[in-house]
Amino acid sequence: MRPLLNFNNKNIIVAGVGGIGQATVLELASMGANIIMIDANEQALNETIFKLGQGKHSTHICDFSKVDTIEPLIKNIVKESGAIDAFVYCVGIGAVRPLKLSKYEFMRTVMDINFFSFIEMIRCISLKGNYNPKETNIVGISAIGAFLGNSTKTAYCASKGAMNAAVRCLAKELAPKNIRINTVAPGVTDTPMARASEDYGSESEEYKSILQRQYLGICSPNDITNAVVFLLSNMSNKITGSCLSVDGGKLSS
Amino acid sequence: MSDLTLQNKSALIIGVHDKLSRIIARSIIKENAHVTLIGSDKSLLAEEYPEITEPHLINFNITDCKNIEKNLKSHLNDNLKYDGVVFCHTQSDFKPLSFVKYDNLSSIVNDNYFSFVEFIRVLTKMKKINNNGSIVALSSISSIRAMKAKMAFCSSKAALDAAIRCLAVEFANKKIRVNSIQKGEVDVDFEKGHIQDVSAIREEGVSNACLGASSATEIANTVIFLLSDATHTLTGQSIVIDGGYTL
Residue A201 lies in a domain: yes
A243–chain B Cβ distance below 8 A for any pair:
no
Rounded to a whole number of angstroms, the distance from the CA of A160 to the nearest CA of chain B is 7
Instruction: Select the residue of A148, A150, A173 nearest B96 (Cβ to Cβ).
Output: A173
Radius of gyration of chain A (CA): 17
A241–chain B Cβ distance below 8 A for any pair:
yes
Looking at residue A155, what is its pLDDT?
96
Q: How confident is the model at residue B77 (pLDDT cuts 50, 70, 90)?
A: confident
Looking at residue A203, what is its pLDDT?
64
Residue A171: list chain B partners with CB under 8 A: 146
Residue A110 CA to residue A102 CA, distance in Å, equals: 10
Taking an 8 Å cut-off on Cβ atoms, the answer to whether B151 and A119 are in contact is: yes
Rounded to a whole number of angstroms, the distance from the CA of A151 to the nearest CA of chain B is 5
Cα A214–Cα A220–Cα A222 angle in degrees, nearest 5: 130
Residue A155 lies in a domain: yes
Taking an 8 Å cut-off on Cβ atoms, the answer to whether A107 and B117 are in contact is: yes
Calculate mean pLDDT across residues B18-34. Answer: 95
Residue A253 lies in a domain: no
Looking at residue B240, what is its pLDDT?
97
Mark residue A248 as left, alpha or beta (left: phi above 0; alpha: psi -120 to 50; beta: remaining).
left
For A93-110, the pLDDT digits (tens) are: 988 999 999 999 999 999
For A194-251, the pLDDT digits (tens) are: 887 765 556 677 778 888 999 999 999 999 999 999 999 999 999 999 999 999 999 9
Taking an 8 Å cut-off on Cβ atoms, the answer to whether B98 and A108 are in contact is: no
Closest-CA residue to A128 (of A172, A176, A189): A176
Residue A135 lies in a domain: yes
pLDDT at A169 over 70: yes
Q: Phi and psi for B14 in degrees, rounded to 5?
A: -110, 120
Residue A111: list chain B partners with CB under 8 A: 106, 109, 114, 159
Residue A149: list chain B partners with CB under 8 A: 165-169, 236
Positive or negative CA dihedral for A42, A93, A241, B98? Answer: negative
Chain A residue nearest residue B95, CA to CA: A173
Give the residue numbers spanning the domain of A98. 8-247
Residue A78 lies in a domain: yes
Instruction: Select the residue of B66, B98, B160 nearest A127 (Cβ to Cβ).
Output: B98
Closest-CA residue to B30 (of B22, B41, B20, B38): B22
Residue A29 lies in a domain: yes
Residue A233 lies in a domain: yes
Looking at residue B2, what is its pLDDT?
77
Looking at residue B198, what is its pLDDT?
64
pTM: 0.94
Calculate mean pLDDT across residues B21-32. Answer: 96
Looking at residue A12, what is its pLDDT?
98
Can you list the domains of chain B with their CATH numbers?
Answer: 10-241 (3.40.50.720)
Residue A96 CA to residue A158 CA, distance in Å, equals: 12
Q: How confident is the model at residue B166 (pLDDT cuts 50, 70, 90)?
A: very high
Residue B154: list chain A partners with CB under 8 A: 165-166, 168-169
Crossing angle, helix A154-174 and helix A117-125, to 10 degrees?
A: 20
Closest-CA residue to B28 (of B72, B78, B80, B85): B85
Q: Phi and psi for A20 in degrees, rounded to 5?
A: -75, -40
Looking at residue A97, what is its pLDDT?
92
Taking an 8 Å cut-off on Cβ atoms, the answer to whether B98 and A103 are in contact is: no
Domain count, chain A: 1
Chain B residue nearest residue A170, CA to CA: B151
Q: Given the cut 0.85, state whether the ipTM is greater than it.
A: yes
Residue A252 lies in a domain: no
By percentage, how much of chain A surpasses pLDDT 90?
A: 86
Average model confidence (pLDDT) for chain A?
Answer: 93
Compute CA A11 distance to the chain's CA centroid, rounded to the nearest angstrom.
Answer: 16
Looking at residue B197, what is its pLDDT?
52
CATH (domain of A47):
3.40.50.720
For B180-213, the pLDDT digits (tens) are: 999 999 998 876 555 555 677 777 777 888 999 9
Looking at residue B191, what is its pLDDT?
64
